[in-house]
With several copies, the nearest count.
Chain A
Amino acid sequence: MFRRVLVANRGEIAQRVIRACRELGVETVAVYSEADADALYLRQADETICIGPAASAASYLDIPAIISAAEIADVEAIHPGYGFLAENAHFAEVCESCKITFIGPDPATIAAVGHKARARDMAIAADVPVVPGSDGSVDDEAGAVRVAGEIGYPIMVKAAAGGGGRGMRVAHNEPSLINGFHAARAEAAAAFGDDTVYLERFVENPRHVEVQILGDRNGDVVHLGERDCSIQRRHQKLIEESPSPALTPELRTELGAAAVRMAKAANYHNAGTVEFLLDPEDRYYFIEVNARIQVEHSVTELVTGIDVIQEQLRLASGEALGYGQDAIQLRGHAIECRINAEDPDRDFQPSPGRLDSFVPPGGPGVRVDSHCYSGYRIPPNYDSMIGKLLVHRADRAGAIRTMLRALDEFVIEGPKTTIPLLRRILRHSDFRTGTHDTGFVERYFGAHPTIPGPPR
């Protein structure tokens, strides 16, 4: 195990890594920007080093500053947390060249899985289902009709240079495909100066289901079950849970095996996540690999009893996994709510500032991961997460009841938070029955909900 580790992050995840290190007897060096000088978690580090001003580019994203801190503090390894430099292959390479262990997969793995097309090819080679699509671009109407015949409807026409929904058309049959094909090309040409388009099956009402994996440097990989992250708003996850209410035990085994195959194909070691879309017919499609620890790793910790951050440190230091898939048993049901300093009434604008009062809930089944406290001032420079509220109960219904109880107890005075929205989501019948999909939040609670939500 490492003697001394630098934590190249801030807030909740910096605190989380420091906690894991303390429990393993590993010394910690916390770096911080001037905006975070008052943070309480810094007191738990063995050494703290100010690396720059509030702006991330000059502090938490400043590779020379961080490496320099690592060198003067004489650490053996760097934990990047999530966000900032966590999936920066160049940073991982610099660490390597400085003989500092980057706590995460190899730079080559980070680069490979970070490249959409390469990751897709890797998945296909590993027999992991991907969203069916044209083999490259589709240049004419006839070609589009032929490909659609192979893939099936509904199908999506997507601009190769696209983004933000432009140059994108969904077609449910041949006539709408022909129209959509020409419309998408024209829009793509106008918007991006490039009319190249390709076709992909349109996955309707999907769920977002991801599998946590752990691998060692010997190539042994296990999965820790899945997390269902279908409660999203504009691709920002709000609520995560494990196990997913949408998976049968058989499908869980199958999805887990696919994730392990994908990880092995990418020579993945350390902790990572393989993300899938799951459609209402239980077909699943690989989307991407997250080559880092994720915010929602904690729900997996609750149901498996495995401390994923401690495992990251252990595996990065070269230890073998030491257990097989059989040793992983899921127990009970865990839910995580992200408590953000955002104003749901103002389109989720960040609502930073002083926490005049902060009393987290507690008691049975409740876990709180937060770096905040009464009197703490949330800096406006970084993300708006106040903390993660987690519950772990024998079953999903019990977990929902405990979460509602805990949300009701949570006292946060000062900034506006997402708590009222979370409360409404947890009370919604679609969530209660577990039949929601990734469109749920926008459908019922968006700025222009397609179906009016319950009274607020």
Chain B
Amino acid sequence: MDLKLLQKILRMMSRGDVRELEIDDTEAGLRIHVRRGPGEGEGQPAQPVVQWMGGPPAMPMAGAPAAAPAVAPSAAADGDVAGDDGELPPGVEEFPSPMVGTFYTSPSPDADEFVRAGDEFGEDTVLCIIEAMKVMNEIKAESIGEIVEVLVNNSEPVEFGQPLFLVKKR
């Protein structure tokens, strides 16, 4: 089972605010069914259903709701997590993770987030913490601008180069 594929799909769903997605790719032997957020009138948590028959992911997607951004089947689908630039509005760019680790939006569980969508930041503004080998690394903006969107949820793992925020620089 290719978790990276799932991760990409979940991220796209998150960005596109997609609630439910079904993929049935008999060629790749893949069925995916994902519901995000609490089900209406069901009260049960998001329940991804994934069946994987092995083989390289071919990724022709069927049955994706219209709200989901189109995904081009790509041989490098696994490799490039920052490959959706083409879809960004003008002036908006991604702020990539400088390291592998666990992403934290605030200095402690009870504290406020370092930044939220709409916040302005300066060069020394701490945007988040990434924990690597028990060390809490404060990630500074090192530029001036505004947060458009926080792309990663608190305490989620991130890899090197993974977009953490959408920002508008000045």
Q: Which A residues are within 8 Å of any B CB, using their own CB?
A: 32, 34, 36-39, 42-44, 46-53, 59, 64-65, 67-69, 71-73, 98, 345, 357, 404, 407-409, 411, 419-420, 423-424, 455-456
Complex contact B160–A52 (CB within 8 A):
yes
A278 to B131 CA separation, bound complex (whole angstroms): 51
B166 located at the interface, meaning its Cβ lies under 8 Å from any Cβ of chain A in the complex:
no
Nearest CB in chain A to that of B3: its residue: A47
The one of B3, B51, B81, B101 that contacts A46, using a Cβ cutoff of 8 Å: B3
B119 located at the interface, meaning its Cβ lies under 8 Å from any Cβ of chain A in the complex:
no
Complex contact A50–B55 (CB within 8 A):
no
Complex contact A48–B100 (CB within 8 A):
no
A419 to B54 CA separation, bound complex (whole angstroms): 11
Proximity bits, B61-79, A CB within 8 Å = 1, else 0? 0000000000000011011
Q: Which B residues are within 8 Å of any A CB, using their own CB?
A: 1-4, 26-27, 29, 51, 53-57, 75-76, 78-81, 99-102, 131-133, 135, 157-162
Q: Known pairs A47-B4, A51-B159. 10 more at Cβ < 8 A? A: A34-B160, A43-B2, A43-B78, A49-B159, A65-B99, A67-B133, A68-B131, A72-B101, A72-B157, A423-B55
A50 and B133 in contact, given A37-B76, A43-B2 (Cβ under 8 angstroms): no
Complex contact B79–A42 (CB within 8 A):
yes
Complex contact A408–B160 (CB within 8 A):
no
A411 to B51 CA separation, bound complex (whole angstroms): 21
A48 and B78 in contact, given A64-B135, A65-B132, A65-B160 (Cβ under 8 angstroms): yes
A44 to B54 CA separation, bound complex (whole angstroms): 9
Q: Is the interface of B mostly helix, strand, loop or mixed?
A: loop
In this complex, the member of B26, B79, B80, B158 whose beta carbon has the largest number of chain A beta carbons within 10 angstroms is B79
The one of A39, A50, A67, A71 that contacts B161, using a Cβ cutoff of 8 Å: A50
Smallest Cβ distance from A438 to chain B, in angstroms? 25
Q: Is the interface of A mostly helix, strand, loop or mixed?
A: helix
User: Which residues on the B side are within 8 Å of A404 (C-beta)?
Assistant: 54
User: Which residues on the B side are within 8 Å of A423 (C-beta)?
Assistant: 29, 53-55
A345 to B54 CA separation, bound complex (whole angstroms): 18
User: Which residues on the B side are within 8 Å of A53 (C-beta)?
Assistant: 160
The one of A39, A64, A408, A455 that contacts B132, using a Cβ cutoff of 8 Å: A64
Smallest Cβ distance from A372 to chain B, in angstroms? 15
A36 to B57 CA separation, bound complex (whole angstroms): 18
A423 to B132 CA separation, bound complex (whole angstroms): 40
Smallest Cβ distance from B82 to chain A, in angstroms? 9
Complex contact B159–A69 (CB within 8 A):
yes
- Sample (9) of A-B pairs whose CB atoms are under 8 Å apart: A34-B160, A51-B159, A68-B131, A72-B102, A345-B26, A420-B29, A423-B54, A423-B55, A456-B29
Complex contact A408–B79 (CB within 8 A):
no
Complex contact A46–B26 (CB within 8 A):
no
User: Which residues on the A side are within 8 Å of B131 (C-beta)?
Assistant: 68
Complex contact A51–B56 (CB within 8 A):
no
In this complex, the member of B53, B57, B131, B162 whose beta carbon has the largest number of chain A beta carbons within 10 angstroms is B53
A51 and B160 in contact, given A39-B79, A46-B2 (Cβ under 8 angstroms): yes
Smallest Cβ distance from B129 to chain A, in angstroms? 13
A38 and B161 in contact, given A50-B81, A420-B27 (Cβ under 8 angstroms): no
User: Which residues on the B side are within 8 Å of A419 (C-beta)?
Assistant: 55
Complex contact B81–A68 (CB within 8 A):
no
A276 to B26 CA separation, bound complex (whole angstroms): 37
User: Which residues on the A side are within 8 Å of B102 (C-beta)?
Assistant: 71-72
In this complex, the member of A50, A51, A69 whose beta carbon has the largest number of chain B beta carbons within 10 angstroms is A50
Complex contact B79–A38 (CB within 8 A):
yes
Smallest Cβ distance from B47 to chain A, in angstroms? 19
A69 to B100 CA separation, bound complex (whole angstroms): 6
The one of B56, B79, B135 that contacts A411, using a Cβ cutoff of 8 Å: B56
